[in-house]
Each structure stands twice: as C-alpha cells, then as structure tokens.
Amino acid sequence: MNTLNNLSFSLYLSKPDTAILLAQQADALATKLGWIKGEAYANCYEGLGYKKKSNYSKATDCSLKSLKMAEETGNKNIQEKDLSNLAAVFFNQGNYPKSLDYATNALKLNEELGDKLGQATNVGNIANVYNYQGDYPKALENYLKALKLAEELGNVKMQVKLLGNMGVLYHYEGDNNKALEYYQRALKIEQDAGDKTFQPNNFCNMATIYDDMHEYSKAIDYYQKALKMSVEIGDREVEATSLGNIGNAYANIHEYAKALDCYEKGLKLGEGMGDTSIISVNYGNIGDLYVRTGKYKDAEEYLKKAIAIDSSIGDQNSLMLVEEGLSDMYDSTGRGKLALVWFKKAMTIKDTLFNADKNKALTRKELTYTYEKKEAAAKAEQDEKDAIAAEDKHKQQIITWAVLSGLLLALVFAGFIFRSLRVTRKQKRVIEIKNIETERQKKLIEEQKALVEEKNKDILDSINYAKRLQEAILPPVNIIKKYLPESFLLYKPKDIVAGDFYWLEKAGDTILIAAADCTGHGVPGALVSVVCSNALNRTVKEFKITEPGKILDKVRELVLETFEKSESNVQDGMDISLAAISYQPKAISWSGAYNSLWYVHNNQVIEVAADKQPIGKTDNPKTFTTHNLNIQKGDTLYLFTDGYADQFGGPKGKKFKYKQLQEKLLAISHQSMAEQKQILETTLDEWKGDLEQVDDILIIGVKV
C-alpha cells in the first residue's frame, strides 16, 4: 500500500491517469487493512491526479474526504497537501475567496512543519489570488517571497512557474516589455533544464503580449505552439486557454468561423473540467462574436450567461467588460434604455475598481458616523433599561420589608406610605435623569450630523474653489472671440469641475486652439487637465514649438515626465484635437490623439482621422501626424470630445452617436456661430430629457 501511494505521488504531474489508478489500488488495500492514515494518503493523491486532469469535482471530493480523515488522525502532512490542492482547485474554478482561505491555512501548517517547499508553493498560490483580484502590490510581494524560497531550494520548476506569474502581473499592469522579459526568462530556464511542464503557459503568455501589440500572425503562431505542447503533456487547462486566445486572434482579423470553432472547443473543455472561469470567458467570447456578426439574440443569451457566472464567482474585471459588451449590443439594436442600464452597471464597477481609495475613505466616514449614532442610541436605551431594573429591584425590597414587619401593622402602614412617597420621588428623579441623558444623546447626534454636514460643505467649497482654479487655466471667451471672431464654444462639464478643457495660445501670427478630454471627469479629471494644460503652455512658450504634431509629441513627453515622479503606476492622460490657424501666410494645420477633426466644405463634412494613441502611457508610441489642410474661405472647423455623441436620450434612451452629430453640424453650418451654439444646446437638452449627463461635453466651431 505504501509503495502504491508513493508511486502515485511521484507520477501525478507527468502521468495523472496512472497516478489515479495507483491511488485507487492503495485505497482498496488500506480499506481492507482498516488503516485510516493509508486511506487518507490514497485519497489525497487521487485528488492531486484529478486536479491535474482538471476534473475539479472529483478532485474536491477526494481532497475533502482525505482532509477529514487526516484531521481525525492528526496527520498535518496530509492536511497540508489537501488544503494546498483545494486552494488550487478553487482558484482554477474562479472561486478566489475560498482559494485564499485554503492557501492561508495550508501555509500555517507549512510553517509549523518547517516545510520550505510547501511554504513557497502556498505563498505563490496566495500571490496568484491577489494578482487575479487586482491587488498587484500584495501579489508582487508574495511572488518575490516565494521566488526567494524556490531559489534557496534550487527548485527550477517552481522558479519557472513564479517568473511566468510575475510576467502575468506586469501584463495586467500594462507593462508589456517587462512581462515579456519575465516570460522569456522563465522559458529559457525551463528549456535549459529540458522540462516541458510550464512551456505551454509561457508560449501562451508571450502570445498574449503579441496579441495586445496587434501582431496577430505572431500571436497565433505562439498560441498554436502552446496548444500543441499542452495536448502533448495533457494540460487541459492551458489547452482550453490557448483555444480561447486563438479564437480572439482570429476574431481580430475577421475570420469569425475559425474563431467560433475555437471558442466552442474551449467551452467544451471548460464544461468537462467544471472550470467556471473558462466557461464564462468562452460564453463572453461567443457573445461578442455574435454581436460582431449581427446575431443579436444569440449574443444576448451568451453574454447574460457570462454575467451570471462572473457575478457568482465575484470576477469584477470580467463582469465589467461583459456588461459593457451587453450595453453596446443593446445600443446597436436600438434598445437605448437597456443599453443605459447596463452601461451604468459597468461604470459602477469601473468606479469601484479605479477609485478604491476614495471609496474606502468615504466608507470609513459613513461607518464612523453610523457607528457613533448607533452607539448613542444604544446607550440611551441601556440607561432606560437600567432605570427600570433599579425600580423593579426597589419594589421587591419594599415587599420584603412589608412581610417582615407584619406584626407592626401600623408602623408598616406608615413605613409603606413613607417608602411609597420615596419611591415616587426616585422614579421621578430616574425619569428626569433619563430624559436629560436622552436629550444629551440627541444633542450629540445632532452635533455629529452637523459636523458631517460641515465636512460635506467644506468638501463642496473646496471643489468650488477648484472650479475657480480650473477656470483660471481656461482662456476667457472674449480672448477666443478676439482672435477667432467667427467661432463658438459649447462647454458643459458633467460635475462642478471637468476632465474636458479647451485651450488657446497665440504664437506670432499663428493661433493654436484645442479641445481636450482627460482621463475621468470630476475632481480626478480636473487634476489631470491642469497637468495637460500646463504641458501645452510649456511646449509653446518655453520650447517654442508651433507645429501641431510636434506639440503633441512634446506634450506627451512632459505629461509622462510628470506622472513618472509618482511611486504609483499612473495611466492617466488625454485625447485631444489641436488646430494651428495661421494668417500670414494663410494656412491651417492639425493633429489629433484619438479625437478627429471635422470641417464643412462645399456642403460636405470631411473628417481628418486622428492618430490612435493617447497623450499618456501607451505601448509602441509613435510620432503624431501633422495634417496640412486645404481649407477655403467660408469653411467651418469643428473640434470636439466624445461627450455629446455619447449622451443617452431620445425616445428610446440610446446614444446620440457621431453620425447624428455630423448630420446636425452639416445642417446648421450655414448659420451664424451664435445660432449654431444655441441649436446644439437646444438639441442636447431635448435629446437628454430627464436622463442624467454621462460625460463632460465640449465642441468648438471656427469659421475660416
């Protein structure tokens, strides 16, 4: 029986089917011998084999059965193995809270037993959970701790696995170069050791980087390598992941039939393994594919299946993306109200993910106020109970003394009257005290409420002051009119302060004007707008640059330089449409980051496409293009951000969209600039109706 168990444990990674068979034979012998410890080992190793085969249901059953027997016999070695296996199983199924719980308990046993290999394994497992939950600092801290242990032990397999996972972390953070460096480092160590265990993972991870870089043929090549090797070594999890990724790459190059085939194969594998994460991902992929091909009914079905799974396992990142996809699907089919509902749900998750510190601070304030309020009410209630208890106790004393004084009836009668009067006075005093205390508690609650209101007022006053500061960086309308008499400015911040801003500067005979959209809106967006506006001013005034494309190149350099001073990985920046209007000689040039330029010429709207990159951190940054425009007298330029087109409204509650905005601008382009602004404002108000404004709105019109 011992030999069978030892063989099973030594083979579960390379030959899981054989390991399971050996463990079952060992279990039969242990049962025959009546040896619970042997049964515990056999079930433990059988669970490891099933986990390797991605049969999570059987793996869970075996490990829980083994864990129960190990706890009965006090065998901590088996308990640790079972807990580690369960942590891995629940992680693969996307149940991160349970995975973290089992891994933490396993780590405690590792430390008690002095098992460094087990410590490294479980610290790595804990890091994986934090990584998938988006807590990158904690994840990296645990990865480095586990890697140090693995290097001390000389364990190559574990080093390779940890380096690969660290690559995934940097990929999630958007540092593709760093991620690729870790993947290549892991792959080299494994190839030098002649081990294929994690090579499919590293090929798959490297392919994901190339996919992000839009090098789809290279990505598919690496995905195919990962798929082939995962099939060779029987790694069904990586096989399923590779199929899904190959499908995404085919979808990106519009080979939808091939993409659907890959998704369906990946879904079948996920269902066979009981892996909810893989099932959810493929439901979402198939739903997105049906949206692309116009099969909206099927798309809705699959996207809702993905949402149900993501909600049940708490995968917020995936849930946000699928909800955005469902919103776009409803928008494309004219169901604007549903599109808005799902858009708001996705934005709620996005705000939670990207404003965690702000939410924590607000929650702490709210909980403090609620706690103090409850504490005051509880104290008043307890005081009232104490007063009643004292009264009851005193009455009992009166009765006792009355019985003992029965022989002296007259005296008792007199004493009773005396004591009754005394009790009445005390009751009155108790009630008075209680009322005083209640009033005190009420006053305390009112004071705290006033304090919260005062703090809110302070915050609002600060934001209003920030508005005045932001307005200070915006050029006054009379200055815009001075240099561009035939122009209008439509500017509607969503909140008190805005992420959108407009900018104007005169450099010699050239007027530079821009419409910019910074990351976020409200206070965070306003802070980014100050940084970006300052970078524009420095570029023109300090560095004397007036060509639009070169201005944007320099602004990106200055913005990145500002944010790189932070210890945090700041991903903020802006989209912008920037025009240079020169009168001596007469010429107009333009450059844009994501935001295009429209101009009306001969009763047609002509679009000049922007570069598909932001002013900020991006992979493979390229030089911004300067477009020299052939504009005639009487033509009208329109610079804008995405707020107007993205506004929900109308009879069906759908987005306004760029096409409708373009048609509106063409229809009103012959009118005066003041009339154009008024028509745009009226149209927006009528379209929006009772719905809230979803983003900052900015449109600038200039007639040449």
The answer, yes or no, to whether residue 436 has pLDDT greater than 70, is no
330 has a pLDDT exceeding 50: yes
- Is the pLDDT at 370 greater than 70? The verdict is no
One-letter amino acid of 343 = F
Give pLDDT tens digits for 461-519: 667 666 776 777 788 888 899 899 999 999 999 888 888 999 999 988 899 999 999 87
Collect all residues with Cβ–Cβ distance below 8 Å to 533 and sequence separation of at least 6. 473, 501, 503, 516
pLDDT at 669: 93
pLDDT digit string, tens, across residues 206-245: 888 888 777 888 888 888 888 888 888 888 878 888 898 8
Residue 366's pLDDT is 32
Long-range contacts of 583-590 (CB under 8 A, 24+ apart): 583/509, 584/509, 587/628, 588/628, 588/629, 588/631, 588/637, 588/704, 589/547, 589/548, 589/626, 589/627, 589/628, 589/629, 590/548, 590/626, 590/627, 590/629
Whether residue 375 is predicted with pLDDT greater than 60 in this model: the reply is no
pTM of the model: 0.43
Q: Which of 149-153, 350-354, 462-466 has the lowest mean pLDDT?
A: 350-354
Q: For the residues 76-97, what does the mean pLDDT come to?
A: 87
Given a cut of 90, whether residue 619 has pLDDT beyond it is no
Lowest mean pLDDT among 15-29, 61-75, 442-456, 553-567: 442-456
Which of 23-37, 83-97, 355-369, 488-502 bottoms out in mean pLDDT, i.e. has the lowest? 355-369
Q: What percent of the chain has pLDDT over 90?
A: 39
Task: Tell me how far the alpha carbon of residue 382 is from its chain's centroid.
Answer: 44
Please give the structure tokens belonging to residue 557.
């350099």
What is residue 191's predicted lDDT score, i.e. its pLDDT? 84
Lowest mean pLDDT among 134-138, 192-196, 442-446: 442-446
For residue 201, give the nearest of 215, 222, 173 by alpha carbon: 222
571-611 residue pLDDT tens: 678 899 999 998 777 789 999 999 999 999 999 999 999 99
Task: Compare 121 and 443 and report the one with higher pLDDT.
Answer: 121
Distance of CA 340 to the CA centre of its chain: 19
Question: Would you say residue 455 has pLDDT above 80?
Answer: no
| 3-class SS letters over 565-600 | CCCCCCCCCEEEEEEEEEECCEEEEEEEECCCEEEE
pLDDT at 397 over 50: yes
**Other CB atoms within 10 Å distance of the CB of residue 113:** 14
Question: What does the mean pLDDT of the chain come to?
Answer: 83
Q: What is the pLDDT of residue 355?
A: 46
Between 478 and 433, residue with greater pLDDT? 478
The one-letter code for the residue type at 263 is Y
Residue 549 clears pLDDT 90, i.e. is over it: yes
- Of the pLDDT bands very low, low, confident and very high (cuts 50, 70, 90), residue 361 is very low
What percent of the chain stands above pLDDT 70? Answer: 83
Q: What is the pLDDT of residue 406?
A: 53
**pLDDT for 23-42, tens place per residue?**
999 999 999 999 999 999 99
Say whether pLDDT at 683 is over 90. Answer: yes
Whether the per-residue pLDDT at 432 is higher than 80: the answer is no
pLDDT of residue 566: 59
Q: What's the whole-number mean pLDDT along residues 348-374?
A: 43
- Which run of H or of E encompasses 640? strand 636-640
Q: At what angle do helices 2-11 and 16-33 cross, to 10 degrees?
A: 160
CB atoms within 10 A of CB 152: 10
Classify the C-alpha dihedral 234-235-238-244 as positive or negative: positive
pLDDT value of position 476: 87
Residue 600 token pair: 């009306």
Task: Give the C-alpha separation, 302 to 279, whole Å.
Answer: 11
The whole-number pLDDT of residue 280 equals 87
DSSP conformation letters of 37-57 = HHHHHHHHHHHHHHHHTT-HH
Within 293-408, residue ranges assigned H as helices are 296-313, 316-332, 336-354, 356-404
More confident residue, 46 or 448: 46
Does residue 158 have a pLDDT over 50?
yes
From CA 609, how far away is CA 622, in angstroms rounded? 15
- Looking at per-residue pLDDT, the higher value among 454 and 501 belongs to 501
